[in-house]
Amino acid sequence: MKILVTGGAGFIGSHVVDAFINAGHDVVVVDDLSTGRQQNLNPKARFYQLDIRDPGLAEVFEREQPQVVDHHAAQMDVRRSVADPMLDADINVRGTLNLLEMAHTYGVRKIIYISTGGAVYGEPRYLPCDENHPIDPICQYGVSKHVVEHYLLVYRHLYGLDYTVLRYPNVYGPRQNPRGEAGVVAIFTGRMLSGRPVTIYGTGEQERDFVYVGDCARANVMALSAGSREIYNLGSNAGTTINLLFSRLANIIGYSSVPTKEQAKAGETFKIYLDGRKAQAGLGWSPSVTLDQGLQQTVAYFREYERDL
């Protein structure tokens, strides 16, 4: 099967590309390298350096004729969405509409769309959040990602374009950017390994659902042949506090400094974790890597490949 992966040079997208190629598929990557990195690219994939908003995307679809589009490219920083909501909407809504138009025009069979379980629900009314939880985002990023879920319904109704939506938790693991504003595991790991101070925003009692990147990549492969017109949370059914995450990483790395505390950031949910039972029933998916195993693997990767931290 020929699959076009947007954001395929990014942290999560590159792992998804690897998983598709390992499963025997023909993969095309579109990435503007604004946050993705050339070294993440699988050499067996054909690469086009292009923004998803670019009209030149049509040339890629014309040449490659993909059967499936796996859409990871996005503005995915909650804090940036609050600071610059116009950019957030331009990339996540207008850019995705450009992609959907190309998919419709060139006969794509299915879209696998990456949404966010961490931001669409807002402050949960109950935990863990299942797919029926009310949608009530408290940041622009959550809004822009959810809007596309409605567009997918429209394109299915008008043109028969199939889709599966995967609502991601807090994904972590190798290749995550330790210098970015998002990705607390990578940021903590990078600062600890270089002996720099670590900052926790808020009390540290915020809870997140941390799922290893390899597990999320595996769900994308499963969604190729299952989950038609469905929305799935990829969740572990449990939350981990930021304070506990800090302690576990510090223990693995041998970091002895105490974190500094600063004011919590606007737009961020205090406590969120996801119910993954629907994904288990519909895709056969559940997390296989424990948090301790995943943190060990992440630290080992950073020690070997991110030496200029």
* CATH number for 188: 3.90.25.10
In a domain, 100, yes or no: yes
The pTM of the whole model exceeds 0.75: yes
Shared domain check, 186 and 109: no
Q: Within 10 Å of residue 50's Cβ, how many Cβ atoms? A: 18
Positions of the chain with pLDDT under 70? 180-182, 307-309
Per-residue pLDDT, 307 = 58
Catalytic residue check, 141 = yes
End-to-end CA distance of the chain: 38
Per-residue pLDDT, 309 = 54
Per-residue pLDDT, 308 = 54
Give yes or no for a contact between 204 and 243, defined as CB atoms under 8 angstroms apart.
yes
Q: What is the DSSP letter of 54?
A: -
In a domain, 281, yes or no: no
Cα-based distances in Å from 105 to 7, 101, 110, 295: 21, 6, 13, 43
What's the structural domain count of the chain?
Answer: 2
In a domain, 185, yes or no: yes
Q: Within 10 Å of residue 284's Cβ, how many Cβ atoms? A: 11
Catalytic residue among 141, 155, 232, 255: 141
Shared domain check, 215 and 74: yes
